[in-house]
Amino acid sequence: MFRSAQRVLLLVLALCAWPLSAQNSASLTNYFVGKEVVVKLDMPGSQQGIDLRFNNDNPMNWKEYSNRLKANGVAIHKGDTARVTGFVVKNDRIEFQLDGGGFGTFGDDTSTTVTPQVVDKSDYEKQLERDIANTTDEDRKRQLQRDLDRERARRERQNQDNRAAADVASQIKAQKVADKRLQGGSRFNLRWSGSIPPDQLNPDAVMKLLADYVTFAGAQQAAPPATLQASTGDAAIPATAQLKRGMKMAEVTNLFGPGKQLSESVSGDGLKTQVFEYTTGARIVNVTYVEGLVVRYSIASN
C-alpha cells in the first residue's frame, strides 16, 4: 500500500514538473527570438557554432573555436548585428541560434563531391571482343584488335573528359557550400554536465552567461568597415559584393587590382589551378581559379 502511494506521488510530481519546464522553455523562446545582439567575436559558419561549457572554469575552448573558424569560415563577424532566430532548451544545453543557426542542419547539402559519369563499354566494343576471341585468322584478328584499341581509346577519352568536368563541378559545388556556410548564421551552445541548473532558465541568467560574447539590445551597432570600391561598374557596390563564380581572372583584377599568387598546380587531367590573394583594406579575399575562371573564393577580416 505504501509503495503504491509512493509511486502515485512520484507520478503526480513528474506530471506537475513537466508543464512547468515546458512553460519555462516556451517563455524563454518567446523572450529571446526576434531580438538583435551585437557579437563580440567572429562566429563559425557551421551549426556547431561555439560551445560554452559552464561546468569548466573557462567556458570557451579556444583551440576548438579556432579549428571551427578555420574549417568553416566566419559567418558573423565581430561587431556585426545578428538576430536571434532560434532558442532551444534541451536537457543539458541551450541553443542560442543567430541568423539561421548555422549551415549543416538537417536538409543542408554539405557534400562537395560531384561523381563523374562513367562511360561503359559500347555494344560495338563488346562485339569486337567476342569476334577477337572467336577468330583464328591472324590478319583478321590484328585488324579487329586495332579497331578495339581505337574504341577503348575513345571511351577512355570520354571518361577523362567526364572526370575533368566533375573535378570542376566539385570545386564549384565546394564554393557553393562555402557560400552557404557564410550565409547560414551561427549559434552558441550553452552546455552543462548533466541537466541545466534550474536557476539558469531565466532571461537575466542567460544574458549574464552570454555577456562576454554578445551585447544585447541597446548597444550601438559597430560602423561597417570600409571596403574597397570597384574601379569599374557601380561605385556604390563594394568590390567584394561583385565577385562571382565563373568570372575571368582579368575581371577580378579590375575589381581588386593585382593579387598575390599563393600557389599553382596542374591536375592529372591537365587542369591548371591557381590561388590568388587580394587585399581590400578591410577584407582579405582568396580566389581559386581553374583554367582562369573563378571556381571558389573566401572573404575574411583583414
Render 86-118 in DSSP notation, one character per residue. EEEE-SSEEEEEETTS-TTSTT-------PPPP
What is the predicted pLDDT for the residue at 241?
74
Average pLDDT over residues 48-70: 93
Instruction: Evaluate whether residue 194 is within a structural domain.
Output: yes
- The count of domains in the chain is 3
Neighbours of 129 (CB within 10 A): 16
| Whether residues 290 and 230 fall in one domain | yes
Whether 277 shows a pLDDT value over 70: the answer reads: yes
CATH of the domain at 241: 3.30.1450.10
| Whether residues 81 and 192 fall in one domain | yes
Average pLDDT over residues 235-259: 81
Whether 37 shows a pLDDT value over 80: the answer reads: yes
| Whether residues 30 and 139 fall in one domain | no
> Within a 13 Å sphere around the CA of 269, how many CA atoms are in the beta-carbon half?
17
What is the predicted pLDDT for the residue at 288?
86
| Whether residues 145 and 209 fall in one domain | no
Whether 136 shows a pLDDT value over 70: the answer reads: yes
Q: What is the domain extent for residue 146? A: 123-172
Average pLDDT over residues 266-275: 81
Of the two residues 219 and 300, the one the predictor is more confident about is 300
What does the DSSP 8-state code read for residue 184? S
Q: Tell me the whole-structure pTM to 2 decimals.
A: 0.53
Instruction: Write out the H or E segment, with its range, that includes residue 234.
Output: none
| Whether residues 193 and 89 fall in one domain | yes
Closest CA to 133 of 121, 124, 123, 144: 144
| Whether residues 33 and 54 fall in one domain | yes
Instruction: Evaluate whether residue 6 is within a structural domain.
Output: no
- CA distances (Å), 179 to each of 26, 165, 189, 239, in order? 33, 21, 23, 16
> Cβ(197)–Cβ(24) under 8 Å?
no
> Cβ(76)–Cβ(42) under 8 Å?
yes
| Whether residues 99 and 238 fall in one domain | no
> Within a 13 Å sphere around the CA of 275, how many CA atoms are in the beta-carbon half?
10
Instruction: Evaluate whether residue 76 is within a structural domain.
Output: yes
| Whether residues 32 and 90 fall in one domain | yes
* Cell output for 10: 512520484
| Whether residues 168 and 277 fall in one domain | no
Rounded to whole angstroms, the Cα distance separating 104 from 95 reads 15
Whether 27 shows a pLDDT value over 50: the answer reads: yes
Question: Which pLDDT band, with edges at 50, 70 and 90, does 228 fall under?
Answer: very low
What is the predicted pLDDT for the residue at 266?
84
Whether 225 shows a pLDDT value over 80: the answer reads: no
What does the DSSP 8-state code read for residue 52? E
Question: Which pLDDT band, with edges at 50, 70 and 90, does 260 fall under?
Answer: very high
Question: Which pLDDT band, with edges at 50, 70 and 90, does 108 fall under?
Answer: low
What is the predicted pLDDT for the residue at 294?
82
Rounded to whole angstroms, the Cα distance separating 83 from 72 reads 20
Closest CA to 267 of 119, 161, 167, 159: 167
- Rounded to 10°, the helix 138-183/123-134 angle is 150
Instruction: Evaluate whether residue 92 is within a structural domain.
Output: yes
Question: Which pLDDT band, with edges at 50, 70 and 90, does 24 fall under?
Answer: low
Rounded to whole angstroms, the Cα distance separating 103 from 153 reads 43
Question: Which pLDDT band, with edges at 50, 70 and 90, does 9 fall under?
Answer: very low
Neighbours of 89 (CB within 10 A): 18
Instruction: Write out the H or E segment, with its range, that includes residue 260.
Output: strand 260-266
Question: Which pLDDT band, with edges at 50, 70 and 90, does 231 fall under?
Answer: very low
What is the predicted pLDDT for the residue at 156?
94
What does the DSSP 8-state code read for residue 29? H
Instruction: Evaluate whether residue 15 is within a structural domain.
Output: no
* Cell output for 216: 544585447
What is the predicted pLDDT for the residue at 232?
43
Average pLDDT over residues 128-148: 93
Instruction: Evaluate whether residue 35 is within a structural domain.
Output: yes
Average pLDDT over residues 133-152: 93
Rounded to whole angstroms, the Cα distance separating 208 from 197 reads 14
Rounded to whole angstroms, the Cα distance separating 39 from 41 reads 6
Rounded to whole angstroms, the Cα distance separating 139 from 135 reads 10
Instruction: Evaluate whether residue 116 is within a structural domain.
Output: no
| Whether residues 75 and 190 fall in one domain | yes
What does the DSSP 8-state code read for residue 236? T
| Whether residues 210 and 87 fall in one domain | yes
What does the DSSP 8-state code read for residue 186? E
Q: What percent of the chain shows pLDDT beyond 90? A: 43
Instruction: Evaluate whether residue 250 is within a structural domain.
Output: yes
Average pLDDT over residues 40-53: 93
| Whether residues 73 and 28 fall in one domain | yes
Closest CA to 141 of 132, 150, 130, 128: 132
